[in-house]
Amino acid sequence: MLAVLWLATSLSAMALATSYLVRTEVEAATNRIEGEQMRFLARGALDAAVHSILGSTVLRPAAASTSGVAGAEQRPEFVSGQRWLAYEFPGGRCAVEVVPENAKLNVNQAPAEQLAALFRALGVEAVESAELAQAIEDWRSPRLSDVGNLFDAYYAALPQPYRARRAPLEQIEELLPVRGMTRELLFGRIERSEDGAWARKPPLADLLTTAPTGGGVNLNYASREVLEALPGWNTAAALRVVQLREATPLATPLGLENVVPRNSGASLTTAASTAYTLTATCEHPEWGARRSVRAIVEIDPTFAASLPQGYQVSAWWEDWPYANEVSEAVVQAWRSAGGSRG
């Protein structure tokens, strides 16, 4: 009798363990499926954003407008100064953050003083910021002679030695081997301020670019850190510009005499560049699954009328973990009627 009881207890334990494992595996598979669905939706939202930007670059005549008038022009979904595009799909909702590359500093052209100011705006100490900026300037500069310097000696003395790049960077991630660079600074981090609040420090991919940025820094999209790094700027001026553009996009740099420092030698613009960083984040309102996809897209207006040849993707991140929080405007668009975009 005792043996039968032990056998029944063992079989019950095995049945419970098997049931738990099956349930766990089913939940894991479900989570994986939901995540993959959101990732493919993010890809679709990114494509939709590209076509929206193309439509605003060159207005194409529509076969028939919403009023039924043949030959009328379509109203573009994207307008200059707009940061977010919201899409409501049957399988989930997506938000695409649009940032032109001229909202960032060119890592291959920015002076060392400007790079140091950017690092100080990110919370790096002044001495460390200056040393890191000098190391980046050395890393990107072509070698003029075979004579090594202090940076070459540092790289050669490492347990796994390597040589400096000595050429312009092609991707921001190439900064990781530079002397003084840390993963926390390159990829972003979460820090706690003095008042106890948690603040997110953006990754350098949000602040620096390798794409041409001629024409000046875009005031409608540049982050507070980038604006603060401009010559003669300070935190107050940068925050004031961010506050002004949140109310309505800036049409021109003119009229900001009371905001932009008078001793600023920075070139400013509100015109977008031909390259954009697009970050598509999709989530399901019930499941909670969320995925982000990022791409750097170059748009050529001369081919915008012949989709999809009007653009090319120069960089792609399949699982982007640093997506910014969706703005309140996008949340309101999601709450409105299905299919709305804003």
pLDDT in tens, the chain (342 residues): 777 778 777 777 777 777 767 677 766 666 677 888 889 999 999 999 988 888 776 544 333 333 333 333 444 478 888 889 988 888 888 999 999 999 999 999 999 999 999 999 999 999 999 999 999 999 999 987 778 889 999 999 999 999 999 999 999 999 999 999 999 999 988 877 777 777 788 999 999 999 887 778 999 999 999 999 998 898 998 999 999 888 888 887 776 767 777 666 678 888 888 899 999 999 887 777 788 999 999 887 665 555 456 788 889 998 888 776 666 656 665 555 344 343
Domain count of the chain?
2
* Residue 15 domain-assigned (yes or no): no
Strand order in the sheet with 290-299: 84-89, 92-100, 275-283, 290-299, 311-317
Residue at which a domain ends, from 216, 241, 269:
269
Judge whether 299 and 276 are in contact, CB under 8 Å. Answer: yes
pLDDT of residue 223: 94
Judge whether 140 and 165 are in contact, CB under 8 Å. Answer: yes
102-139 core/surface letters (b: 16 or more CB in 10 A; e: else): bbbbbbbebebebbbbbbbbbebeeeebbbbbbbbbbb
Query: Do strands 84-89 and 92-100 pair parallel, antiparallel, or not at all (unpaired)?
Result: antiparallel
pLDDT of residue 267: 84
* Cα(284)–Cα(30) distance, integer angstroms: 13
pLDDT of residue 338: 43
Q: Are residues 114 and 262 in the same domain?
A: yes
With a CB cutoff of 8 Å and minimum separation 6, the contacts of 86 are 93, 94, 95, 96, 329, 330, 333, 334, 340, 341, 342
Q: Are residues 231 and 287 in the same domain?
A: no
* Residue 82 domain-assigned (yes or no): yes
3-state helix vs strand vs coil in the chain, percent to 5: 40, 15, 45
* Residue 5 domain-assigned (yes or no): no
Q: What is the pTM of this model?
A: 0.79
* Residue 32 domain-assigned (yes or no): no
pLDDT of residue 77: 75
Dihedral angle over CA of 59, 242, 190, 286, nearest 10: -50
* Cα(274)–Cα(218) distance, integer angstroms: 12
CA angle 128, 136, 152 (to 5 degrees): 95
pLDDT of residue 30: 62
For residue 193, give both structure tokens: 């301020």
Domain containing 290 — which CATH number? 3.30.1300
Q: Are residues 240 and 110 in the same domain?
A: yes
Instruction: Give the residue among 271, 269, 245, 254 at the shortest CA–CA distance from 329.
Output: 245
Q: Are residues 84 and 173 in the same domain?
A: no
For residue 268, give both structure tokens: 């400013």
Domain span at 301: 38-62+69-102+273-335
Backbone angles phi, psi at 319, to 5 degrees: -125, 95
pLDDT of residue 2: 75
- Would you call 319 helix, strand, or coil by DSSP? coil
- For residue 33, the cross-strand partners are none
pLDDT of residue 309: 63
Q: Are residues 139 and 200 in the same domain?
A: yes
Q: Are residues 239 and 302 in the same domain?
A: no
Judge whether 223 and 103 are in contact, CB under 8 Å. Answer: yes
For residue 23, give both structure tokens: 């349930």
Judge whether 219 and 266 are in contact, CB under 8 Å. Answer: no
Burial class (CB in 10 A: 0-12, 13-18, 19+), 43: middle
Residue type, 27: E
Residue at which a domain ends, from 269, 292, 318:
269
* Residue 47 domain-assigned (yes or no): yes
Instruction: Give the residue among 327, 335, 322 at the shortest CA–CA distance from 84.
Output: 327
Q: Are residues 110 and 164 in the same domain?
A: yes
Judge whether 48 and 86 are in contact, CB under 8 Å. Answer: no
Instruction: Give the residue among 151, 119, 148 at the shortest CA–CA distance from 137.
Output: 151
Q: Are residues 113 and 250 in the same domain?
A: yes
Q: What sign results for the dihedral spanned by CA atoms 100, 106, 110, 113?
A: positive
pLDDT of residue 339: 40
Q: Are residues 90 and 200 in the same domain?
A: no
pLDDT of residue 319: 86
Q: Are residues 51 and 87 in the same domain?
A: yes
- Would you call 97 helix, strand, or coil by DSSP? strand
Residue at which a domain ends, from 222, 245, 269:
269
100 preceded by cis ω (within 30°)? no
pLDDT of residue 290: 84
